[in-house]
Amino acid sequence: MTHALMDQYKGLFVIDRSLDRLNKGIELLTYLNPLNSEKEKQKFYSSKYTEVPKFRYPKRNFNAFKIQQGLFLHNLEEIHDDHIRTLYQNIIYYYSNVLQCSDVIGEKKKFFYNSLRLYGAPKERDVQNAKFIIHVKDHHQEEQKIYSALDAVTYFENFVKSYDFQMNIKLSNSIAADAMVSNKLQTLFIKKNARFSENQLKTLANHEIGVHMVTTFNGINQPLKIFSNGFPKNVETQEGLAVFSEYMSGVLTLDRLKTLAYRVIAADSLTDGYDFADTFDLLHNQYKLNRDKAFIITLRVHRGGGFTKDFLYLTGLKKIYDYYKQHQDLSILLSGKVSLEFQSSIEHMMDVGLVHKPVHLTHSYNNNYNSNKTIDFILENLR
């Protein structure tokens, strides 16, 4: 980037770096993974699914009031480009919402309403899409989970060799998913007691490394820190890209799509006022999901006090699938933790030289290896 461009956008860079300093260490998901999920699961099972789990969460190490003050002290008039100034206004409100959500984890009503502000709630159309997927007959035999967490570490270490970046891989006892990327730590965490099938390993590799790690490192390479810290509504786009990577690599199964659909059903039950036991009952007894699957989906949705994020995997996948079918450029959406909604802002910043083309590209996007006609039929017919 030239000195002339740095001078021209001096106010922008001052604000961008200030926001980055304020945002350091606030990564919602790292505070939202219960520390005692296994213990509470066993208690829940022993109570015949009646005793609502009492989850404990990591301590927050930030002063929410001071950071909140700092966010709104910025004079955005110093950003002379109207297009970019509007983006930063949206970003400040987004960071404020993430902060508020992080600060009230475990405080049921407060957290739930902040979650709604951040992610929204499933619409009737989303619920109907989920039910459509659930009712599609699946004749596929589920693969055996023969690989341990240590096997997974080896698999991911080999997978990442095809990408030009260094990442950490660590085992963890305190994540809700089988694997999770920390953007701040550039680390892939794997649940210590998890077991994996071969297809699951391929799915996680293409999802977590092929997209989430790719956008992490592309974001770090950008001159503006917002590409690393995240745009408003980036979760829907990022998860959509990640599941689409599963699709393109030929490992997206109907069972996996159904899991995403059950997450929509669970998030919808949350917004209807269901407690943990009610949502579990809906999934396990009414939809006949096995109890471990039902528990993890229920945990993901009810953690913190009510977390609606999980319905966005399916809405995001549909948006990215349609975007791809329209022959749009996916690489723009890999430039960092960005969102489809702000595509024109990214293109504008690329035009004026404030954004680099992404260094790392998702390998699975090179060729479409999906051969499952049922998956195509479903994605074409989601509303």
User: Exposed e or buried b for every residue in 71-92, given b needs 16+ CB within 10 A?
Assistant: beebeeeebebeebbebbebbb
Range of the domain at 46: 3-381
- Gap between the Cα atoms of 218 and 235, Å rounded: 16
- Say which residues have a Cβ less than 8 Å from residue 244's Cβ, sequence separation at least 6: 317, 320, 321, 324
Report in angstroms the alpha-carbon separations of 248 from 145, 166, 365, 369.
23, 24, 6, 5
How many structural domains are present in the chain? 1
Tokens of 29: 């998901």
* Per-residue model confidence as pLDDT tens for the chain (383 residues): 777 888 889 999 999 999 999 988 788 888 998 999 999 999 999 999 999 999 999 998 889 999 999 999 999 999 999 999 999 999 999 999 999 999 999 999 999 999 999 999 999 999 999 999 999 988 777 789 999 999 999 999 999 999 999 999 999 987 878 999 988 889 999 999 899 999 999 999 999 999 999 999 999 999 999 999 999 999 999 999 999 999 999 999 999 999 999 999 999 999 999 999 999 999 999 999 999 999 999 999 999 999 999 999 999 999 999 999 999 999 999 999 999 999 999 999 999 999 999 999 999 999 999 999 999 999 999 99
This prediction has a pTM of: 0.94
- Gap between the Cα atoms of 213 and 223, Å rounded: 18
Task: Report CA torsion sign: 78, 81, 83, 87.
Answer: negative
182 forms beta bridges with 187
Mapped onto helix, strand or coil, the DSSP state of residue 345 is helix
